[in-house]
Structure 1
Amino acid sequence: MPKMTKEDDPEAYIEAFEWHALVVGLDKRYWASQLGALVVGKAQAAYRALSREDALDYESVKEAILYRLEINPEYYRHRFRAKKDHEIRQPRVLLQQLRDLLDKWVSPVEHDREALANQIVLEQFQNDLEERTQRWVRQHTPQNCEEALRLAEAFSASEVYYPRERRSQGPSLAAPREPERRRPSDRGTPRDTVCFRCGQKGHFSRECLWQATERWALDN
């Protein structure tokens, strides 16, 4: 397991350490000392401040480090509500992270926790979606997280197959454009026209009474 760096997320590092310890089969009696030797900064200071007895207990070491770094229910609440990075906003990844954060934020003994959790995650899931996906999902008023996930993934799939149509139409209903009104013709008015048959103003040759009279005369 590589040593922790200042750029590492302490919580993510501890989780990675636990996974690594399980994979390699490290005896849990040595977890505390191994973690204490790998962490740096405030985490290392928290470990060194422990009594010798507590420094040998992994749960005590982990609790002390998280406390020193202020990783507590309020920390998870803030992360739950905060705007997520672009790479996390893929619907399935986003929903899983919100559920994980809620598990660390809300006490599991809370009354009717499952129903509460569903509504909290559903609300935040919709808030954190991409803007166009968010509008589409909200228009369909999903009642639970799974329904919201199906809507979000269906919209994402349609963006892949029909990107141009979606860009022009999309889930948001844009106001219809008013038809352009034709401007009055700049051509001359009837008063300015001159009939080339009779030479009179005010009409075209096809409307000329003289032409109609001439045809009647020829026919008779």
Structure 2
Amino acid sequence: MSWAKAALKSTAMEELVKQMVFVNVQAQTRHEEAMAQQQQAQAQAVAAQQESTHLLAAQLAAQQVATQTQINALQEAMQQLAPGRDQAVVTTGNHVSIRASHFLQKLSASDDVEAFLTTFERTAEREGWPQDQWAGLIAPFLTGDPQKAYFDLPLEDAKNYDRLKAEVLARLGVTVAVRAQRVHCWKYCPDQPPRSQMHDLGQLVKKWLQPETLTREQMVERVVMDHYLRSLPKDLQRWVSHGDPKTAALVVEMVERYTVVEDLLRPTSRRGPVLPPPVRPASVPRREASLDLGTSTPKSSSSVLQRPAATRTAGDIQCW
């Protein structure tokens, strides 16, 4: 009996071991299958990532090519629209053609003429355009009164840019006197930013004194002339300003001419000769002199009447 029990126990143990081995084998198999699936999924993910990377690389390369193409096209357009100094002037035989239309637009009614002329000058200097051709280059872009000023100038003056500019500004009432008046009329406005007002005042002074074109001595002379003119009497100031003198010497010359003309046109009775004051004879006693004043002789009367006349004439002399 004990043997049979031992055999049954051994058989049960073997069955248990077999089941455990079978379970372990199944578990290992499932683990291996799971690992295989995980590896396969990772491989698919890597492949998908690689494919996505390749696509992104291809897109980036295509974008770089397109960007480079656009850059090249833009550079070509810029070279055509804004050529360099050597390309701005195209020489054909003995004639020089300047493509000013690539840089300028026609003057409109809302444009500031001074700003328009300044822009043209800076463009012409940057591009190296010959200054003797500036008047002809800007003429097609003028409209309105500036265009009339160009056509009203003589042919030789119309070829000179400085004379054309002066005529255009004068036609529009923009003179040195007007610019000076703008400076003197400037006032601080509490409602506006202080910095912008300082900038505006600086621009007004620059337009008046023109430091880009005038020397230091010429700017000082302009300030002196302005103060001198403002100190003159109104009639004289108006007459001198109408003559528009360009230098201090011309201002003084005009003032001197005005003074001489005024003195010549003054009535003779007012100007009168300058007579010395009467001298009383030392030998005539005071009593006799007083008696003579009472006589009616022509000589006494004449001598007495002449004295206040001489004194009055000397007092009527005026200095101009």
Band the TM-score falls in, shorter-chain normalisation: 0.3 to 0.5
Bigger Rg over Cα: 2
TM-score by length of 1: 0.44
TM-score relative to the length of structure 2: 0.31
